[in-house]
Amino acid sequence: MAGIIHFTGPVLVGPAEQRAEAWAVDGVLTFRRPRRCAETTLEGWVLPGFVDAHCHIGLDARGRVPDSLAEEQALTDRDAGTLLVRDAGVVNDTRWVQQREDLPRLIRAGRHVARTRRYLRDYAVEVEPDGLVEAVRKQALAGDGWVKLVGDWIDRDAGDLTPAFPAGVVKDAVAAAHAEGARVTAHCFAEQTLDDMLDAGIDCIEHATGMLERHIPRFVEQQVPIVPTLINIDTFPDIAARADAKFPVYAAHMRALWGRRHERVLQAWEAGVEIYAGTDAGSTIAHGRLADEILALAEAGLPAAAALDAATWGARRWLGAGAISEGASADVVLCASDPRIDLSQVGRLKHIVLRGNVIR
């Protein structure tokens, strides 16, 4: 049972707002000094627990993993400071994670929905266009308010990335999810796919490597955020190298998308597009790497405070989760110095507290 923790601060309640100190009382944050003495005192700069907005607890490169391995993945994320995960598609039922007080909070999205034989094997519910709407409706009811579409993938006949589904069908599918109270996000690498998704009223875009200048005003106007997954995009050169002999056009396209990844993210952020941090862990990316993604956002040109916001205050607000406020759950991480000045602090956290329990 969580007791009382005194955080001596500073306590960063926002990118530019801080309090001198705070307490966790039975797992809940407060700025009012409790009547009982604290059993534990933690020193350091206090941030909300990290959010990985694109993570797959329960998947690896081969597909579904046993629950024992999924548990290891969740613990690895937690021990790196990720205390809230937005699942971006998983094969197995991971609701058991939500029942564990020692594991990160989890917002589930059900299974990916992809075109037949147009995605990683054993990952997705695979359908043809006439089955997309019903598949999306089913996954909207199976998750926690999110559905994940695979918007594009390599078309082996075309030898390049192409949209997975006709634009009109995507629009109907998004409408079906909205009717069930769910938001829709989509895996999108290519340029054309973004037009179709924006036309459909999509709620979020994963990767967004095909974003062009003409897309940016629409992202801003429609308030569609992106989760760039930059550490995953860094695998594109290897993907291209493996594809060179058989699919040279696709390989060249993937290299071009990788080459403008930083420029794309910075232009979007400067224009006002919301950017959130996600690792894509659980496919070919190892768990526990959110600090690397935060640093990659800064490498793309985002100020340190903005890169932090993408994984803390802003991400929690977007997902409807508490950050650091009176009565919020005590899910926080502590750095030895101000991470807005020394962003590398996110990779060497001093303390981690989940639900008022000191993890370290």
Give residue limits of the domains in the chain: 4-46+323-358, 51-319
Candidates 315, 314, 192, 189; CA nearest to 264 is 189
Instruction: Let me know how long the chain is.
Output: 360
Q: What pairing do the DSSP bridges indicate for beta strands 204-207 and 332-335?
A: unpaired
Residue labelled with tokens 């309090």: 19
pLDDT for the residue 100: 97
Q: How far apart are the C-alpha atoms of 260 and 211, rounded to whole Å?
A: 10
Residue labelled with tokens 């997954």: 229
pLDDT for the residue 61: 85
Give the residues of the chain that fall short of pLDDT 50: none
Handedness of CA 111, 162, 257, 271 (dihedral sign): negative
Query: Token pair of 157, please?
Result: 């006949």
pLDDT for the residue 1: 56
Q: How far apart are the C-alpha atoms of 93 and 111, rounded to whole Å?
A: 9
Q: What pairing do the DSSP bridges indicate for beta strands 17-19 and 11-14?
A: antiparallel
Q: What is the pLDDT of residues 82-115, one digit of tens each?
A: 999 999 999 989 999 999 999 999 999 989 999 9
CATH number for the segment(s) 4-46+323-358:
2.30.40.10
Q: How far apart are the C-alpha atoms of 278 and 84, rounded to whole Å?
A: 11
pLDDT for the residue 283: 81
Q: What pairing do the DSSP bridges indicate for beta strands 183-188 and 146-150?
A: parallel
For the domain 51-319, what is the CATH superfamily, name and number?
A: Metal-dependent hydrolases (3.20.20.140)
